Amino acid sequence: VYPGASADPIYSAELRFLHQLLEDGATRTTDPYEADLFFVPIFGYYTHSGNMNAPTSAFDKAVAYLQKAMPFFWSRHEGRDHVFFSTADVGWCSMSSTVRRKAILIS
């Protein structure tokens, strides 16, 4: 069990993925120029939307931040190399088209 994680493994998938990713030095880099993919940890299940609503605003804010703070890394592939999780029941149903059409989505 992961701290703060739901007892249901479906809803802790993002935490489990991040835990394994951080432990595996062969699959991650701290140099963004070497990265093939960027994992964007939103933890949408743990936002105010919880399990029953899509965490649209959290994802839109993250994309806006990435576009402003790290424009090169977002725009070099138009976000298509950024990975987002949404494990709530609603998942990507009402996600904005900016995120849905551009990023890699795991639900």
For 2, 22, 76, 88, the CA distances from 8, given in Å and listed in that order, are 11, 22, 37, 11
More confident residue, 21 or 35: 35
pLDDT digits (tens, 9 = 90+) for 53-79: 555 677 888 889 999 999 999 999 988
The pLDDT mean for the chain works out to: 77
Q: Are 44 and 50 in contact (CB under 8 A)?
A: no
Q: How far apart are CA 96 and CA 74, in angstroms?
A: 17
Distance of CA 74 to the CA centre of its chain: 14
Cβ count near 34 (within 10 Å): 8
Coil, strand or helix: which one is 39? strand
Give the residue carrying structure tokens 């703060």. Answer: 4
Query: Please, which residues have CB within 8 angstroms of residue 26's CB and are 6 or more apart in sequence?
Result: none
